[in-house]
Amino acid sequence: MFNIEITSKEAIFSLLTLAIVFVFIRALGNRNKKHMSPPGPWPFPIIGNLLQLGDHPYLTFMEMRKKYGDVFLIKLGMVPVVVVNGAEMVKKGLLKDGENFAGRPHMHTFSFFAEGKSLSFSVNYGESWKLHKKIAINALRSFSKAEAKSSTCSSILEEHVTEEVSELVKVFKKLSSKQGSFDPKNPITSAVANVVCALCFGKRYDHFDEEFLRVIKTNEEFLKASNAANPADFIPCFRYLPLSIINAPREFYHQLNQFIKQHVQDHITTYDKNHLRDITDALVSICHDKNATTKAASLSDNEIINTVCDIFGAGFETVSAFLNWSFLYLIYYPEVQTKIHEEIDENIGLKPPRFEDRKNLPYTEAFINEIFRHTTFIPLTIPHCATTDTILNGYFIPQKTCVFFNMYQVNHDETIWENPDSFQPERFLNENGKLNKSVVEKVLIFGMGIRKCLGEDVARNEIFVFIASILQQLKLKKCPGAQLDLTPAYGLVMKNKPFQLTVEPRILENLNIVFN
């Protein structure tokens, strides 16, 4: 008995010795390779650090940064994820070393969008992807600047936007006269979706069109069910469970894909090279030009559909989310709304706002940028992944590692922004009251580098005309006694809590004119 006990202790000692030697050799190997893995919290088996993320993961990442630094490692389920904070590290990962982090991880949530072949979510980064994006950017840029039918608009995009914002003002007035107060979410979403439909398909929908409303409703359901840590993306067995958080993305993308596919196929059938109606026609023209000498002519009809999916998605959710947030802030901070009213009256008066007026309304532009910064309603970039073995902040990042870039942290970094939690549009103005572009460039909302949102310029122009036009004609007011909540509901795109407002026509006192 005594001999057996000694033997067991010797065996345990031997195993411990081997384990220590193994760890030492591995650490020595890492030292010789001059790299090591990022630090991070200890993960639980199977679920990893999923339960530690809380309701607002981007805030949890900011707290983890205090302990582990700008670059740290967590596990979501069985998947290692590197989280990047800090403006310097984010810029290095997205700009300086952008090629090294230009990939996308294979994620269940996004695999249904454009059948997994979209520009935004495609896991295949390479020459074909670059060509695809170049075509999309050229088509978006050329058609959004195409000559408008109206002599008062500089482009067809501007024409579409002004038509929709005019309709939105009418809807707001109608709702206000019938109900007194109303939730602006649905009218805003319909107006923005119509701009995208007009741009992509050359048509707009009635706000009560069943097919149109079905796509919008499914989009809402998808966003409610989606976030940066969907368990189906990181624990494969979850993909087979009958849960809404698992099935909502599949249902939404199926309906959206079918909606867009039908329109694109109709365009291909009725295409006339002498009459380009919209961006879809522009893409068909580029890809079907028999005289083209570039590889663009080899793109398939399916790739055209995928490109339209990207443009549709890029122009829809960001703008509608922004406008909902901005109207909430305008009634929460009425003094800010008053300043925008005064600026509009003094600088453009009764003239309908146009894209070119952005330079004439610096405070309005400052307000827009402060909404982007303060809300950061897209808190994390769409997940990236390493295209090759690489180093970031001295840590080794293996190829195919999933990477989250925390844009919210950059936009609330105390070393960059004074009183970052305070809403102050004036922070974007210089001593002469002009927009300080160097400060604007510090705001991170559309991403940056290779995977940057391709619709930023379109979105900024559209947002400006919506805000300036609405506030030129209407005064937005909080409902008496209402409690407004600026806390976001977390998701892929963070939405504001539901709220009601009232509107009344504005009076330009210096001209004694009422907008009716």
What does the pLDDT look like over 3-37, one tens digit per residue?
A: 444 455 565 555 555 555 555 555 544 444 456 99
Identify whether the C-beta of residue 233 lies closer than 8 Å to the C-beta of residue 109. Answer: yes
The pLDDT of residue 227: 55
Binding residues: 453
Confidence class for position 94, pLDDT limits 50, 70, 90: very high
- The domain tally of the chain equals 1
* Residue matched to tokens 């107006």: 191
Lowest mean pLDDT among 117-121, 288-292, 432-436, 453-457: 288-292
What angle do the packed helices 301-332 and 362-375 form, to 10 degrees? 100
- CA angle, corner 277, sides to 276 and 279, nearest 5? 90
Q: What is the CATH number of the domain that holds 106?
A: 1.10.630.10
Query: Can you give 223-278 as a three-state secondary structure string?
Result: HHHCCCCCHHHHCHHHHHCCCHHHHHHHHHHHHHHHHHHHHHHHHHHHCCCCCCCC
> Does 60 reside within a domain?
yes
The pLDDT of residue 33: 43
- 223 or 316: whose pLDDT is higher? 316
Instruction: For residues 458-469, give the mean pLDDT.
Output: 96
Instruction: For residues 99-119, give the mean pLDDT.
Output: 73
Measure the CA–CA gap between 173 and 502, rounded to whole angstroms: 9
Q: Which residues pair with 507 in a beta bridge?
A: 514
> Does 20 reside within a domain?
no
Is residue 400 left, alpha or beta, with left meaning phi > 0 and alpha meaning psi from -120 to 50? Answer: left
> Does 266 reside within a domain?
yes
Identify whether the C-beta of residue 369 lies closer than 8 Å to the C-beta of residue 440. Answer: yes
% residues pLDDT > 90 (the chain):
51
Instruction: For residues 109-120, give the mean pLDDT.
Output: 61
Measure the CA–CA gap between 173 and 164, rounded to whole angstroms: 14
* Rg for the chain, CA atoms, rounded: 26
> Does 7 reside within a domain?
no
> Does 83 reside within a domain?
yes
- CA angle, corner 211, sides to 210 and 213, nearest 5? 65
Measure the CA–CA gap between 341 and 337, rounded to whole angstroms: 6
Using CA atoms, how far residue 85 sits from 62, 64, 77, 182, in Å, is 8, 10, 21, 39
Per residue in 378-416, pLDDT (tens digit) is 999 989 999 999 999 999 999 999 999 999 999 999 999
Per residue in 256-273, pLDDT (tens digit) is 778 888 888 898 889 888
The pairing of beta strand 395-397 with beta strand 507-508 = unpaired
The pLDDT of residue 249: 67
Return mean pLDDT, the chain. Answer: 84
Instruction: For residues 423-448, give the mean pLDDT.
Output: 96
Say which residues have a Cβ less than 8 Å from residue 516's Cβ, sequence separation at least 6. 505
User: Residue 220 carries which DSSP code?
Assistant: H
> Does 24 reside within a domain?
no
Instruction: For residues 358-369, give the mean pLDDT.
Output: 98
* pTM of the entire predicted model: 0.86
Q: Is the confidence at residue 470, as pLDDT, over 70?
A: yes
Domain span including residue 156:
35-514
> Does 253 reside within a domain?
yes
What tokens were used for 419?
């009183």
> Does 12 reside within a domain?
no
Binding residues for heme: 453
Element housing 76 (H / E): strand 71-76
Identify whether the C-beta of residue 413 lies closer than 8 Å to the C-beta of residue 86. Answer: yes
The pLDDT of residue 513: 56
Element housing 112 (H / E): none
